[in-house]
Amino acid sequence: MTATTMFPLPIAIPLAVAAFIALSGKLLGRRFSDALAIATAAANLWMTISILRATWLQPQTYWFGNWWPRAHDVALGICFTVDSVGASLAVLASLLTTAGLLFSWEIFEDTENHFQPLMLIFMAAMCGFSYTGDLFNLFVFFELMSVAAFALCGLKTLEPAPLQGAYNFGLVNTVGAFMIVMGIGLLYARTGALNFAQVGRSLGSSSDALVLLAFLLISVGYMVKAAIVPFHFWLADAHAVSPSPVCVLFSGVMVELGIYAVARVYWTMFQGGLAAHTRELRAILLVMAAITAIVGALMCYAEHHLKRLLAFSTIAHAGLMLAGVGLLAPKALGGFSLYVLSHGVVKGGLFLCAGIVLHRLRKIGEDHLHGEGKGMWWTAGLFLLGAWGLAGAPPFGTLLGESMISDSAKEFHQAWLPYIFMFAEIVTAGAVFRATFRIFFGWGELAPTDRSSQIEEKPETDEEEENVPAVMFVPAAVLILLGIALSAVPNLRSTAEAGAQLFTNQFTYAQAVLQNVEPAAPALTAPEPLTSSIVRSCIALALALLLALGSLFHKRIGGWLKFTHSLELGNPILRKAHSGHPGDYVAWLSFGTALLGGMFVWFLRR
């Protein structure tokens, strides 16, 4: 079997197994369903890795039913166009799903066996989303992903909080989906095509009001999924009530796929039309990225519900990843790819560690767990390593992604961007350090009580155990250690940049898809030294530790470190905005769309 013929399998096999478990799970029993789901996810991981190896620097196209373009480059069929960026995300989705299913072996007394089919459907949808070369199928996989995510978020149907979180999640993301459909409709009316390459070729250099509106609607729809401010409000609510293995997928790969979609539609369809406005579009995206990173970091440090804290950290890092796309440059996009992979495994490991805390200590609020985790030294060590990774310090792979994005920012005279990275990394890593020192070491004063920390999640296991089962600890440890192992891969930065060059070449992409012209693999270039990024990240790590200690001992230390306590109490305006009411969230979404649309009209139509 060639790699190309393998492309449909990471979608088809999990969907078939999910249907089988859903139909026969009651008869087969919980353990058989678990084992079958884990085996399927592991097989998917092997297949996606094989596909990544085959498309590392050689993108390939698979036409379903052999309906490849035969006349005038008109695409009537549906295709998967797989390159290193999309293939890497499919590997990440399969890896995190496998880890989540292993972790769930000890949780969920689910006699109906709903969890395993939903996880497999979610994984299949994410792989299809990463591979597809068709605009409408991008939306189809988006919706399949969303439906599975809504159900997984509200899996505990007997508790009101998960149902409310799933409702907020579903409502806001459905509004985003409607925007995507409207954008697709506008493009189809103009071009009569849905294939990325054909739409891009039909649009050419056109940048009239219809094209701008279509780009706005599609981008906003996927930014909702990516939790970009002000479209982010649903994320923390969903994480606070979702099972820990589900949070791994939400933060580790689903958010990243939203940003990937913005990059994919821009470089395959809109790059030619918006080429004259690249500078203005770069400024708009970078401002959104900076605001997202700052707001996410501030809300992260003000949280004491462990899952919400990590969720706001994801929002902050989503801003950093959007910066990698928003620079509109191959090197920055290569940095985005590396940052996504490293952040995904580190954040996935941290959410599994939060699940371990809930399993052992039966609570999740930082203010309720002061010193309760003493003796859980291995779990504490994973939290400390995870915070280290969030700071972007060596030896974690986040350093490689951050260095590429920062180097690219300097080339475009955006020297302020590395300091946004530093701020977000200091504050989010400091929040995780602070929680770790309080929970596992019992250091410092009690955490202040806030509204979110009162929403105590019920334990995911029936009985408290003295030891953490291996199936819970090992996946968490492996994920965080993979964040370190990524930095040891030879020529990783050079290869990521080369893959990004292929990803961002609209002409080459269209030739490969519509005319079956095999693109030439770009030459690997020597990466720039990491010296400045290493210095910057080590400073960020030290300041994150200092920030955490300042919060813990602000009464004893006093002086200028008192500001850390104010930072922990949070900004009242930001807290009020995160009200938990879906009507408020839709209002913010509408406001953000109107504001972004106004900027498009002002800057891109001049």
Per-domain residue ranges for the chain? 1-153
The gap from C-alpha 566 to its chain's centroid, in whole angstroms, comes to: 29
Which DSSP helix (H) or strand (E) runs through 62?
strand 60-63
SS3 60: strand
Angle between helices 377-390 and 470-485 (to 10 degrees): 30
**Taking a C-beta distance cutoff of 8 angstroms, is the pair 390, 422 a contact?**
no
Distance (Å, whole) CA 515 – CA 187: 22
pTM, entire model: 0.94
Annotate 415-458 with DSSP letters as a single string: TTHHHHHHHHHHHHHHHHHHHHIIIII--SSPPPP-TGGGSPPP
How much is the pLDDT for 12? 95
* Interatomic CA distance for residues 600 and 280, integer angstroms: 9
Can you list the alpha helix ranges (DSSP code H) found in 302-376? 306-326, 330-361
CA–chain centroid gap for 377, Å, is 29
CA dihedral (135, 140, 146, 149) in degrees, to 10, reads: -120
* pLDDT (0 to 100) of residue 72: 63
Is 183 in contact with 218 (CB distance < 8 Å)?
Answer: yes
Please give the single-letter amino acid code of residue 447: A
Task: In whole angstroms, give the CA distance from residue 303 to residue 551.
Answer: 13
Average pLDDT across each block of 10 residues of the chain; the chain has 606 residues. List them in order. 80 94 81 90 95 88 84 79 93 95 77 81 95 93 91 76 80 91 93 90 83 92 92 86 88 92 94 88 94 94 90 94 94 94 94 89 81 86 94 91 92 92 94 93 79 58 68 92 90 89 89 82 79 90 91 73 75 81 88 90 72
The DSSP code for 365 is B
N-term to C-term CA, the chain = 52
Q: Which two tokens stand for residue 312?
A: 């706001």
In the chain, what's the furthest Cα-to-Cα distance? 77
